[in-house]
Amino acid sequence: MTDVAPHTTTRTYLRYRDDLEQPRPDEEHDIDKIITVLRGNNERAYRKYKHGLRDAHAKSHGILLGELKVHSDLPPELAQGLFATPAEYPVVARLSSTSGVIRSDQLRGVRGLGIKVLDVDGPRALPDDGATTQDFIMVTHREFLFADAHAYRTRGMPTAWVLARLPDPVLRTGSTILSALDEHVLRRIGRPLPPNLNVFVRPNTHILGETFYSSAPLRYGDYIAKLLYTPVSPEAGALHGQPVDRDAGINAHQDMVVDFFASHSADYELRVQLCTDPDTMPIEDATVPWPETESPHRTVATIHFDIQDPYTPQRRAFGDDVLSFNSWRGLAAHRPLGSINRLKQRVYEASSNYRHNVNNAPRLEPTPDQLPQ
């Protein structure tokens, strides 16, 4: 987890400008190709499960209802957009694994978090978006695995195609082999496996103790930022690094989330890392780490979840079939930036349209009274 760092007044933060984004001329072509492949995965999943799934984050582990509280006395560079003034907002959060197929929770891999903040007013990132919600989509790897849409199409999509078709036992064996290889490579040359392989060897730990990252940048009012979400209450913080028991079953994360919230509440902090230099903290290359020494993550809000049942049949149906999460659904002040986010805008929308259509499910942006208890 990243510690809370005191703010300094000596740093100069990069101001948002429209010309900071520099798309490749062939980006739309790359995105078209990616959508075509992912639609094939959608259709294959539908034939298998007789139900439409997301082409990523298909399996949920809990649907949480909570409250986001914007901190008071934020310095001007942090008091931006949704976080401009102290306020409290209802939220719904969906915990997931990022695979596009339903897998055993015993498999290692990347976990996902969708946060939907309700009753948010203001100019929207997309002009035709009439919602009053703000979505943040986060994962457990700090940097994205591919720099841009082109790298994702040429290197990421072949991997995604294969992974969608491998059975769980093969993936489990592959992770074991990669883990042993990672230890060998680290011992011999002092460097871990490449990030796109390393995500399959990281330990499988309690999802409620994980730290999640936006991975790619977004506009932060007058500035540019990445986001981090991490547990801070003692009970939730104690879950950090807690291994998933091998005997916990194929729905281990769901069971652990339900068991925890049966008797505990939890607090998480949203922290912001502001961009200071587009050369060392690039907008278009999502694989480059933004150095904490240049700009640390700083807390802007706390999300509180009370004791609840996060996986009732009503909540599961609502989170998996009705809700959609798209980081472009939100304020213009938090417009997603960079190639990976431009890719996600179209890919997430295509996947959501397909899923809601084949499931004959309503698609709505909820108000607080529509959230299942």
pLDDT in tens, 129-149: 889 999 999 999 999 989 999
> Which among 147, 145, 155 has a CA at the least distance from the CA of 22?
147
- Alpha-carbon torsion (278, 84, 326, 259), positive or negative: positive
Q: Which residues make beta-bridge pairs with 111?
A: 97
Alpha-carbon gap, residue 172 to 137, rounded angstroms: 27
DSSP string, 154-218: IIIHHHHHHHTTS-HHHHHHHHHHHHHHHHHHHHHHS----HHHHTTTS--B-GGG--EE--S-E
pLDDT tens sequence across 292-338:
999 999 999 999 999 999 999 999 999 999 999 999 999 999 999 99
For the chain, report the end-to-end CA distance as a whole number of angstroms: 31
Of 22-31, 51-60, 157-166, 240-249, the least confident: 157-166
Helices (H), 218-327: 234-237, 252-261, 313-317
Q: Residue type for 36, please?
A: T
Q: What percent of the chain has pLDDT over 90?
A: 66
Domains and CATH numbers, the chain: 18-360 (2.40.180.10)
Helix (H, G, I), strand (E, B) or coil at 242: coil
pLDDT tens sequence across 113-126:
999 999 999 999 99
Q: Which residues make beta-bridge pairs with 266?
A: 305
The pairing of strands 298-305 and 266-274 is antiparallel
Is residue 163 over pLDDT 80? no
Q: How confident is the model at residue 198 (pLDDT cuts 50, 70, 90)?
A: low
- pLDDT at position 187 is 53
Distances in Å between the alpha carbon of 33 and those of 37, 153, 162? 6, 7, 16
Q: How confident is the model at residue 6 (pLDDT cuts 50, 70, 90)?
A: very low
Segments of the chain assigned E as strands:
59-70, 88-97, 111-118, 133-139, 212-213, 218-220, 223-231, 266-274, 298-305
Q: How confident is the model at residue 100 (pLDDT cuts 50, 70, 90)?
A: confident
- pLDDT at position 5 is 45
- pLDDT at position 23 is 95
Q: Are 87 and 70 in contact (CB under 8 A)?
A: yes
Q: Residue type for 196, please?
A: N
Q: How confident is the model at residue 240 (pLDDT cuts 50, 70, 90)?
A: very high
| Tokens at 65, concatenated | 């209802």
- pLDDT at position 294 is 95
The CA-CA-CA angle for residues 295, 296, 302, to 5°, reads: 135
Segments of 87-156 assigned E as strands:
88-97, 111-118, 133-139
Alpha-carbon gap, residue 196 to 41, rounded angstroms: 20
Is residue 173 over pLDDT 80? no
Q: How confident is the model at residue 233 (pLDDT cuts 50, 70, 90)?
A: very high
Alpha-carbon gap, residue 363 to 155, rounded angstroms: 33
pLDDT tens sequence across 338-364:
999 999 999 988 899 999 999 998 888
- pLDDT at position 194 is 58
Q: How confident is the model at residue 109 (pLDDT cuts 50, 70, 90)?
A: confident
Is residue 220 over pLDDT 60? yes
Distances in Å between the alpha carbon of 196 and those of 22, 83, 180? 24, 33, 16
Q: How confident is the model at residue 11 (pLDDT cuts 50, 70, 90)?
A: confident
| Tokens at 66, concatenated | 């909570």
pLDDT, mean over the chain? 89
- pLDDT at position 16 is 97
- The most confident of the ranges 44-48, 165-169, 174-178, 214-218 is 214-218
pLDDT mean over 239-267: 96
